[in-house]
Copies of this chain bind each other. A is one copy, B any other.
Amino acid sequence: MYQTFLNLEVEKQHKIINSALKEFSINNYDTASTNKIIKDAKISKGILYHYFGSKKNLYLYLYEYVTTIFIDAINSRLDLEEPDIFKRYEQIMTIKLELIKQYHTFFDFLKKTYIETSLEVRSELDQYNLTLQNSSYDSVFAGIDYDLFHKNIDSKKAIDTIRWVTDGISDRYEERLKSNVDNSEAFNQLLEQCMEEANDYFQFLKQLVYKNTKR
């Protein structure tokens, strides 16, 4: 499956993938148009169907492709030796924001797949997610030392709070970062600003929930 496509030079593969991602990011599955994709990728209609067989196969191929790249990127960069949950979150946040720079179209596409409702693909997406779930989420937080929390602290609530604060700050910057992917200087400045703000909040929370810190 997809063998003829994979025999293409990678640049041509990327061009097709990016055109398809763009179209599926703007529209939902049903309204996304294969005609727009081939026009943007400058390939013929016939060859797209030769590569992928159907619109559905193309879509599912993209989903596997994108998730695989993200999971690999995270796994390769995360330092599981770090026991401090704040530092671990700092890592996750940095990785995520840097991935935006390289792969911002992937984020848009993934966001759409979350809310995709078309009967044509929904169940396949869910099924594939199941096979991922086991491996991914838990391992990201392997090796965290929960004894760093003050003994009176409900660590579950503390962890939730840290996650929500992290997400909140991410959201605050995500859109602005996306619109600056082509301006390296502005992007890096924003990223630095974001991480600084995150660390401020981490310091604030650490002081509240960690041992050996004063109010």
Residues of A whose CB lies within 8 Å of any CB of B are 26-27, 31, 117, 150, 152-154, 157-158, 160-161, 163-165, 167-168, 200-201, 204-205, 208-209, 215
Contacts and interface: CB of A to CB of B under 8 A. Distances in A.
A204 B117 CA distance: 37
Nearest to A26: B117
Nearest to A208: B208
Nearest to A214: B152
Contact of A168 (B27, B31, B164, B209): B164
25 contacts: A26-B117, A27-B31, A152-B215, A153-B215, A154-B204, A157-B200, A157-B201, A157-B204, A158-B204, A160-B165, A160-B168, A160-B201, A161-B161, A161-B164, A161-B201, A161-B204, A161-B205, A164-B164, A164-B165, A164-B167, A164-B168, A167-B168, A208-B208, A208-B209, A215-B215
Give the 8 A-B residue pairs with the shortest CB-CB distance, closest first: A164-B168, A164-B164, A208-B208, A157-B204, A31-B31, A152-B215, A164-B165, A161-B165
| Total copies of the chain | 2
A154 B204 CA distance: 8
A168 B161 CA distance: 9
A36 to B, nearest CB: 13
Contacts of A200: 157
A137 to B, nearest CB: 16
A161 B160 CA distance: 11
Interface centre among A26, A27, A150, A204 (most CB of B within 10 A): A204
A201 B162 CA distance: 12
A204 B162 CA distance: 13
Given A161-B204, A163-B168, 6 more contacts: A27-B31, A153-B215, A161-B164, A161-B205, A164-B165, A164-B168
